[in-house]
């Protein structure tokens, strides 16, 4: 487990596949209405507090979840006090996709994203590069020098269908 405090209000946690399984978390079934998800998140925040991190699920908290190639990434953000406390889980279901003019441009863009899994899909004279996994804004900005960056919901399904229809 990697715990990265971003600032006093936000903490990012990366769990590998074994830790995700141990906690009983799954990106696909994660929902605050599910008692197992709540139990796992309470356990996780308790562990983080014992290690000295300021994380609490009381008050207004935004929990963001994203898939990693070998696990799960969670971001806990304490929101300012105001209205009634409310807990939500936001899943990142859109993936960045880079539209490149050539395979060479797609390869150069993939080199700018060393920790991400980049899958190319070709159609005509354009190459679509599906980007999955961790990457920083700076890495995406560097990759954007080689193509146009967009975000697609259901990106993998769309691109696979798109490339199959070409054949």
The residue with tokens 């993939």 is 110
Mean pLDDT of 141-166: 71
Q: Which domain holds residue 43?
A: 2-91
Q: What share of the chain is helix, strand, coil (3-state, %, to 5)?
A: 30, 35, 30
Give the pLDDT score at 160.
64
Say which residue, 76 or 146, is predicted with more confidence.
146
- Of 57, 91, 125, the position where a domain reaches its end is 91
Which of 91, 122, 139 corresponds to the end of one domain?
A: 91
My answer on whether 38 and 79 are in the same domain is: yes
Neighbours of 30 (CB within 10 A): 18
What stretches of 69-144 adopt beta strand conformation (E)? 71-78, 87-91, 94-100, 117-123, 126-132
Residues 75 and 122 in one domain: no
> For 55, which DSSP code?
-
Task: Give the residue, 79 or 150, on which the prediction is more confident.
Answer: 150
pLDDT-above-90 percentage for the chain: 5
Domain end call among 76, 91, 106: 91
Domain check: are 82 and 102 in the same one? Answer: no
When pLDDT is cut at 50, 70 and 90, the band that residue 52 belongs to is confident
Residues 133 and 147 in one domain: yes
- Residue 158, pLDDT above cutoff 80: no
Question: Is 158 found in the same domain as 87?
Answer: no
pLDDT at 84 exceeding the cut of 50? no
Tell whether 153 and 125 lie within a shared domain.
yes
Mean pLDDT of 93-102: 79
61 shares its domain with 124: no
Displacement of CA 101 from its chain's centroid (Å): 26
Number of structural domains the chain divides into: 2
How many CA atoms does the CB half-sphere of 29 hold within 13 Å?
12
Q: Which residue has the higher pLDDT, 56 or 102?
A: 102
d(CA 119, CA 96): 11
More confident residue, 63 or 18: 18
Confidence of residue 77 (pLDDT cuts 50, 70, 90): confident
Selection from 26-30, 130-134, 140-144 with the highest mean pLDDT? 140-144
Same domain, 135 and 86: no
Residues 157 and 86 in one domain: no
Same domain? For 24 and 84 the reply is yes
Q: Flag whether pLDDT at 159 surpasses 80.
A: no
* Cα-Cα end-to-end distance for the chain: 43
Confidence (pLDDT) at 162: 58
Are residues 25 and 60 both part of a single domain?
yes
Same domain, 152 and 120: yes
**Reported confidence tier of residue 50, pLDDT bands at 50, 70, 90:** confident
Given pLDDT bands bounded at 50, 70 and 90, which one contains residue 85?
A: very low
CATH number of residue 101's parent domain? 3.30.70
């Amino acid at each position: 487990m990697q715990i990265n405090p971003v600032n006093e209000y936000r903490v990012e946690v990366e769990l590998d596949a074994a830790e995700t399984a141990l906690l009983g978390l799954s990106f696909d079934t994660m929902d605050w209405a599910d008692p197992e998800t709540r139990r796992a998140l309470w356990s996780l925040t308790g562990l983080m507090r014992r290690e000295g991190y300021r994380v609490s699920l009381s008050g207004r908290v935004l929990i963001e979840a994203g898939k990693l190639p070998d696990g799960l990434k969670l971001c806990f953000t304490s929101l300012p006090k105001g209205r009634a406390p409310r807990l939500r889980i936001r899943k990142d279901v859109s993936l960045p996709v880079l539209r490149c003019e050539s395979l060479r441009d797609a390869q150069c863009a993939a080199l700018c994203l060393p920790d991400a899994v980049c899958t190319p899909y070709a159609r005509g004279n354009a190459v679509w590069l599906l980007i999955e996994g961790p990457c920083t804004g700076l890495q995406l900005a560097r990759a954007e020098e080689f193509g146009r960056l967009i975000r697609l919901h259901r990106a993998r399904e769309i691109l696979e269908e798109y490339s199959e229809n070409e054949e």
